[in-house]
Structure 1
Amino acid sequence: MTKAASNISNHVDDSGRGLRMLFGMLWRGRMIIGICVALGAVFGVMSASQIEPRYRAHGKVMFDVQQANVLNMEDMLLASPLFDSSALENQIQILSSTALIERVIDELELDKDPEFNPLLRVEKPSALDKVRDLVDVGATLDALRQRLSGAVPAQDEQQNTTARDRSHLVRLAVISNVRKGLSFRPVGRSRVIQIAFMSDNRATAAKIVNTVAEKYILDQQETKQEAARAATVWLAERVDELRLSVQTAEEAIETARSEISDRTGQTLEVTQQQLEALNLEFAATQAALSRQEVLYNRLTDFLAQSTDFGTVSEFRDSPLIQQYRIQLEDLLSEQSILRASYPEGHPSLQQVSEDITTVQTSMAQEAQRIATSAGLDLQGIRAQEASLLAEVRRLEKLALEQTRSEVDLRQLSREAEASRVLYESFLARLQATAAQEDLHEADARILTRAEIPLFPQSQSKSLVLTMFSMIGAIIGVGIVFIRTLVNTTFRSLGQLELVTGQHLLGVLPFVGRYKTRVRVFQYLLNKPNSVLAEAIRNLRTSILMSNVDHPPKVLMFTSSVPGEGKTTTAVMTALTSQQMGKSTIIVDCDMRRPDLSQFFTSPHGNNGLIAALHDDAPLEEAVFQDPETGLHVLMTETGGRSARVNAADVLSSQKFNDLIERLTETYDLVILDTPPTLAVTDARIISKRVDSVIYAVRWGSTARGAVVEGLKELESVGAPISGVLMTMMDVKKSGRFSYNETGYYRSTFKNSYVKP
């Protein structure tokens, strides 16, 4: 299939192909469907006439949900849930609950009403009631009534059924009957629920609706009161638990404090204050130590390198060194004066020099003493630092231990405080809940009370009539579907191609129910522009185009079984080819049932195919030209020798092969009309000597299995099958079956270019 053809096919699939097929099938079976619907309506009318009038009463209740206060414990425990889409459904389930229905039954004494108690019914069910019970859940209750009333009980059941069992079963039957008559429906998107009841008694219907609403309100109030009482009990138990928890927590705190005091001897606050003071003192000591180390190092370095004590402030500020420096200056001045007056070595100069040396030595000793004193101070500061550090470490360890104890103590305090707060809160809620235990209101209220209905509800009769009519329609459609499924013939072109796996060469329309093959042939001659003529021309084109490089010259027409139109098609194809200027001859190869004699009358008498093969007559005399159509025909003689020959031997002979070759040299197109494939083996024998095999299939007549089997017979001998041909197709009907809608478009546009 080409890309364009594939696109067209996909577009066709999107154009409602399946719907047309479905509607076509239903339209063909409209009589069956109509009869089934009519029968269903008759049964529906009969059933509806037996239905007693029933009355429907209805009322309305509003489900008023109050929003809970998340800061109020009582609201969280007792308030209804917030309204959502499922809230009304939950209330409907409550309305239809067995507990509420039982309260209604007890209030109105419905178990004493024959409408609900099957034991009190005296009338026997009619045959129509039994039929209705087959599709009605009430049938179970009717059977229960018969068993309980002893109408048809088994002897063993009578012996085993106790009074309590009978009472329980009757109770269940009454509850089921009441529930069957009740219905609930939310009104729009509001919080209103409509309650309705269907009953044989109009007053009973209204009473049941009103009682259901009242019991529902009462049930809500009782539920809230029960919840409040349960909450009070729960709160009381919780308060007792919290009281013990608070007492235990406070005792644990006192025990922890006593243990901390005994172990440390002082509180954490005192330890922290001491540690803070020591840290300050330790920091000051470290600073003093640093300064003293600098001073000591500076003094010792100076003493090792210089004797000018005036350059160092510590030496310069010493009173003794200041005195020595004054003496030294005086001695130096005196030495200068003496040197000016006395020569070197003079006793006075020597004495002055000795005094200068003595002063300098004393000054150095004093400086050394100052440095030694600084070193002693340094050692003292270091000892003080070590002492302070040890004390800081001791206090830090003590503080860490006290901190851990305090953490545990604070945790105990927090737990005690939390328990105390929770205890006080629950105690207050308990007191409030106990005071308001009996003050709760229902979340629903009655909007509309049910009134006694004035007219019976006619919906059940129309529903029964509609139901039976629909059942009839379903049965009719089912019958139509079954009829379609059991049809094993080919009803569409796509189906033919899909099942056979062969290319579709053409489609020949059905031209008349009562026309014989000869009249069909005459119809083609008289109406060359008809749909049939156009179909034959399309067939010829498809055959020749099946092999463009080597167009076939010898064509063989065959089919699965007789009566599929292969001979008529072969004759019309030959005629059309002759009319188009191609020299054509048609050969009747069916020696058992030669059919060309119905179309043509040979002027040569018994001279035909058999005579030519047996050399009883030359080929030129065996072939004759029809004077009306100009078509060359080689017929098989009827009777005589043709009845005695073995067709398979003749057709497989070399003479028959030579005959075909001579005809091929003489004519542009040779058409062979052969017997059906499944009837005899002639078609398989001839198929090996032709260029193209055209397999005819009658629309809506030939079984699919027969066609598949016939094609297998030909394929087994290597026959050159060009494709299949659909014959005698009802174009209008095929449009309803067609997979690819070819029949639909043919039936729609067939008259646009051709005349019927």
Structure 2
Amino acid sequence: MIQPAGGETGPETRSQDVVLDFGRILAIIRRSWWLIGGLGLAGAIVAAIAVLQVTPTYQSGAELLLGQKARLDDAMGALFQDLRLDDAAISGEVAIITSGRLLSEATERLDLQSHPEFNPDLRPPEDEPGLLSRIADGAVNLLKRAMGLGTGDEPDGLTGPGGSPVRDAAMTGKTALGEQADYVDQLRQGLSVRQVGRSNLVSIHYLSTDRMLAAAVPNALIDIYLEDQIDRRFAVLSRATSGLESRLNTMRDRVESSERATIDYRTRNLSDGFGSRVQLDQQLSDLSVRLSAASAEYAELASELRGLNTLIDDQGAIATAGLFASPTIDTLRVELSDLRRREDRLREQFGSDIPQLADTVREIERLEAALSEEVLTLRDDKAKLVDIAGARRQALANELSELEQRAIALADREVRLAQLEREQSAAQLVYETFLDRFNQTRDVGDLQESDAQVIDYASPPPAPVAPNKKLAVALGGFAGAFLGLALAFGHAVVDTRLRTLDGVQRLMRGADTILMPRVSSFWRRGDPLHTALRNPQSAVAESLRTLRSSLMMAAPASGGFVVTFVSTRPGAGKTTTAVNLGRLFAKMGKSCVLVDADQRRGNIAALLKLPLDPDLIDVIEGEATLDEALHEDSQTGMHILTTRLDAPDPAGILLSRKMTDLIGTLKQRFDVVIVDTAPLLPVADALPVVRLADQVVMMVPYGSKADDVATGRRMLDRAGRPPSCAVMSFAPANTISSYY
């Protein structure tokens, strides 16, 4: 994983700062699992020891269903709504169950004054309280005084000889409870009576150190409550029946009044001529049929008359003679036809100047006039028929309108009649219902049942409810684990070690930052020197290729370049990364040489199983040539220049002119020159080599101290060679997100 160089962050980077880093959270938990687990176990043990010292308490409960329908409900439930239970009524019943009157009766029935839990004189003598107990009691009393509360030792002002109105009024409650008053408050403390949800179910529970008493109290309260409810219901019955008879008389008068109003209205309808709805509907139906037929007849006649008038206007009356069925017209048409044939023969035989032709023409004109007059007469007769049909249609329409108005009036009267009948039926129904309930109520004088039903009586609990040993141990373990988590995260907050790439980025501004995971396998530690060659798809190999790409993009276009690996402390993975990087360059066809410049603890020769002589020092001192000192990696062809560890002045050798010339020679002969150096902070050997580098790679192990890394960065800045890349090595595998 690589982050680009640069100190500025955009809006996206700033917005991601508020996102929880779940990877870091899990890493903190993994690092502190022993602390979390240990404190969790300790908390569970402490809770187990504490819970064994607590006196067990038992709880048992009974369930009572209120508002069940009984004979009294059948008699009066529909008449007296106050007998039906709602949430407020159930709360009132709960108050009755927990009232001092019923509790006093329960203490007397159970003889609680002879029970050690209520009578301190019957308890076994207790041991003298220890020092811690006395200190705790004193602290509680002091806190009560500071809060203005009594400690229980002050006189109540209710004792002493003689009486007074104030004392008598103050003692009214205890006086009413009698000898059981001292036990009622204690009994109420362990008692729990509540409504179950919004239902009519009431649960009664009692908490006690005696498992038998825990079941006895709810059962006794249920029995006492049922008996008390029967008494209260008798009182309700006596009050309810006192006014029933007068209400019955009122309802009877209302029924009779409704019946009279209905009969009177029906009689008025008959006298006004409003009969049956069925008869009126039949009349309307018949009249509608007749009106439809008359309308159709009128429309047909009117259409024929309009057509006839149009034809007469366009072609004359004679042209329409064939449309009429009249013997006179038929005779005239025959005579006219004969005369026209005669006219044609005369014209054909004798011409147009003979007297017979003129007589024939005059006769034709006379017949045509007679025919036209007959046609117009028949047309006028048809017009009269149209007028008669229209008058008949209008008369039927007027008659239908009158019937419809009468139907509307009848509907209004029917609505009013139905309303009166409904009122009469409702009054009759209420009266009959009330009368039936009253008769039933009069027969329940010997009622001996309650409307509450016992769903379940309490039974002695098999196990205590407190303390819950499993829950207490679990909570103790949880509290201990939570404390461990708090300590772990608190330590993580104050810890300044670098465990994220962002932390390295802040210290290495201007440098590319790369994550390189730890090389490991399931059964044994992995071999980091062969990672790039044997497992090219691994995350480590991917990080090495990322580092190679970053260095090559910053390298000059031509000629070799020098890469120096540095770190603040030993064990940062410089040598391993340098070897793997050199092999990657060699595998891609680049000529590469790896120079071991760590004359304190350099071990490249031992890692790659190379001979120690000749080495870097021999070349600088002139005891061997460069070609003799260069060794070749058998797997990739990369060249290695090793060093020995017995140099008397390592810093002087690296500061020498010959070292500068040697690096220049290597830069001319090879495409890539990789130099492995000593750590920055313990010794100053690395700085001379850093000045000769084109690019500097800073190795930052996962969990490094931020102060050490900042100091190393300042040293590189003073040397004029700020790091171009920063590699966080040995990062946990879960911090690397694979591309695939």
Counterpart among 49, 52, 71 of residue 45 in structure 1: 49
* Partner Cα distance (2:61, 2:528) in 1: 74
Residue equivalent to 1:310 = none
Q: Mapping of 1:66-105 within 5 angstroms?
A: 97-102=94-99, 104-105=102-103
Which letter does structure 1 place at the counterpart of 2:641? L
* C-alpha distance after superposition, 1:120-141 (max 9, x if no partner): 99999978779999xx9xx999
- How far off its partner does 1:697 sit? 1.8
- Residue 472 (str. 1) matches residue 480 (str. 2): yes
- Residue 149 (str. 1) matches residue 155 (str. 2): no
Residue equivalent to 1:670 = 673
- How far off its partner does 1:64 sit? 10
* C-alpha distance after superposition, 1:493-518 (max 9, x if no partner): 999899997333564689xxxxxxxx
Question: Are the counterparts in 2 of residues 117 and 174 from structure 1 also a CA contact under 8 Å?
Answer: no
SS in 2 for 1:479: helix
Residue equivalent to 1:502 = 513
- How far off its partner does 1:62 sit? 7.4
Which letter does structure 2 place at the counterpart of 1:472? G
Q: 1:472 to 1:412 in 2, by over 3 A?
A: closer
- Residue 631 (str. 1) matches residue 631 (str. 2): no
SS in 2 for 1:147: coil
Counterpart among 417, 420, 437 of residue 430 in structure 1: 437
- How far off its partner does 1:52 sit? 3.9
Q: 1:250 to 1:53 in 2, by over 3 A?
A: closer
Counterpart among 527, 532, 537 of residue 531 in structure 1: 527
Q: 1:507 to 1:198 in 2, by over 3 A?
A: closer
Q: Mapping of 1:58-73 within 5 angstroms?
A: 58=60
Residue equivalent to 1:696 = 699
Q: 1:587 to 1:37 in 2, by over 3 A?
A: closer
- How far off its partner does 1:106 sit? 2.4
- How far off its partner does 1:60 sit? 5.4
Residue equivalent to 2:360 = none
Aligned pairs, how many? 573
* Partner Cα distance (2:736, 2:119) in 1: 63
Q: Mapping of 1:7-406 within 5 angstroms?
A: 24-25=30-31, 27-29=33-35, 33-34=37-38, 37-38=41-42, 41-42=45-46, 44-46=48-50, 48-49=52-53, 51-52=54-55, 54=57, 56=58, 58=60, 97-102=94-99, 104-109=102-107, 147=150, 149-150=152-153, 178=188, 180=190, 197-201=206-210, 204-215=213-224, 217-218=226-227, 246=255, 249-250=258-259, 252-253=261-262, 256=265, 264=272, 266=273, 268=275, 396=403, 399-400=406-407, 403-404=410-411, 406=413
Q: 1:740 to 1:399 in 2, by over 3 A?
A: same
* C-alpha distance after superposition, 1:275-318 (max 9, x if no partner): 979x99x98xx99xx9xxx9xxxxx99897799xxxxxxxxxxx
* Aligned-residue identity in percent: 17
SS in 1 for 2:497: coil
Q: 1:392 to 1:39 in 2, by over 3 A?
A: closer
* C-alpha distance after superposition, 1:717-736 (max 9, x if no partner): 99784662515x8xxxx57x
Question: Are the counterparts in 2 of residues 677 and 713 from structure 1 also a CA contact under 8 Å?
Answer: no
* Partner Cα distance (1:270, 1:625) in 2: 131
* C-alpha distance after superposition, 1:388-442 (max 9, x if no partner): 9799689748844752563244234322333233323432343155234846544
* Partner Cα distance (1:657, 1:713) in 2: 18
In the superposition, the TM-score normalised over structure 1's length comes to: 0.50
In the superposition, the TM-score normalised over structure 2's length comes to: 0.50
Is the deviation greater in 549-558 or in 469-478? Answer: 549-558
> How large is the RMSD of aligned CA atoms in angstroms?
7.8
Question: Are the counterparts in 2 of residues 59 and 194 from structure 1 also a CA contact under 8 Å?
Answer: yes
Which letter does structure 2 place at the counterpart of 1:556? V
- How far off its partner does 1:607 sit? 8.4
Q: 1:94 to 1:618 in 2, by over 3 A?
A: same
- How far off its partner does 1:258 sit? 7.2
Question: Are the counterparts in 1 of residues 107 and 184 from structure 2 also a CA contact under 8 Å?
Answer: no
Q: 1:541 to 1:741 in 2, by over 3 A?
A: closer
Q: 1:21 to 1:240 in 2, by over 3 A?
A: farther
Question: Are the counterparts in 2 of residues 561 and 678 from structure 1 also a CA contact under 8 Å?
Answer: yes
Is the deviation greater in 396-405 or in 535-544? Answer: 535-544
Q: 1:485 to 1:174 in 2, by over 3 A?
A: farther
* Partner Cα distance (1:560, 1:236) in 2: 109
- How far off its partner does 1:108 sit? 3.2
Question: Are the counterparts in 2 of residues 224 and 440 from structure 1 also a CA contact under 8 Å?
Answer: no
- How far off its partner does 1:214 sit? 1.9
- How far off its partner does 1:694 sit? 3.2
Counterpart among 410, 413, 423 of residue 420 in structure 2: 413
SS in 1 for 2:563: strand
* Partner Cα distance (1:506, 1:389) in 2: 107
Residue equivalent to 1:332 = none
Q: Which runs of 5+ in 2 are unaligned?
A: 3-21, 157-165, 302-323, 332-384, 535-539, 606-610, 634-639
Counterpart among 719, 727, 730 of residue 724 in structure 1: 727
SS in 1 for 2:673: strand
* C-alpha distance after superposition, 1:608-661 (max 9, x if no partner): 99xx8xxxx889889994999973459999779959x9x9xx99xxx9987644
Q: 1:132 to 1:180 in 2, by over 3 A?
A: farther
Question: Are the counterparts in 1 of residues 565 and 697 from structure 2 also a CA contact under 8 Å?
Answer: yes
* Partner Cα distance (2:397, 2:201) in 1: 84
- Residue 556 (str. 1) matches residue 556 (str. 2): no
* Partner Cα distance (2:31, 2:247) in 1: 76
Q: 1:99 to 1:531 in 2, by over 3 A?
A: farther
Which letter does structure 1 place at the counterpart of 2:514? H
Q: Mapping of 1:448-459 within 5 angstroms?
A: 450=459
- How far off its partner does 1:150 sit? 4.1
* C-alpha distance after superposition, 1:683-710 (max 9, x if no partner): 9998897565433122333349947995
* Partner Cα distance (2:714, 2:503) in 1: 15
* C-alpha distance after superposition, 1:185-214 (max 9, x if no partner): 99xxxx999965332456643431322332
Question: Are the counterparts in 2 of residues 488 and 703 from structure 1 also a CA contact under 8 Å?
Answer: yes
* Partner Cα distance (1:397, 1:579) in 2: 113
Question: Are the counterparts in 2 of residues 508 and 532 from structure 1 also a CA contact under 8 Å?
Answer: yes
SS in 2 for 1:149: coil
Residue equivalent to 1:366 = none
* C-alpha distance after superposition, 1:301-350 (max 9, x if no partner): 9897799xxxxxxxxxxxxxxxxxxxxxxxxxxxxxxxxxxxxxxxxxxx
* Partner Cα distance (1:218, 1:416) in 2: 44
- How far off its partner does 1:34 sit? 3.1
Residue equivalent to 2:316 = none
Q: 1:678 to 1:268 in 2, by over 3 A?
A: farther
- How far off its partner does 1:101 sit? 2.5
Q: 1:416 to 1:58 in 2, by over 3 A?
A: closer
* Partner Cα distance (2:435, 2:170) in 1: 51
Q: 1:696 to 1:741 in 2, by over 3 A?
A: same
- How far off its partner does 1:20 sit? 8.8
Which letter does structure 1 place at the counterpart of 2:515? L
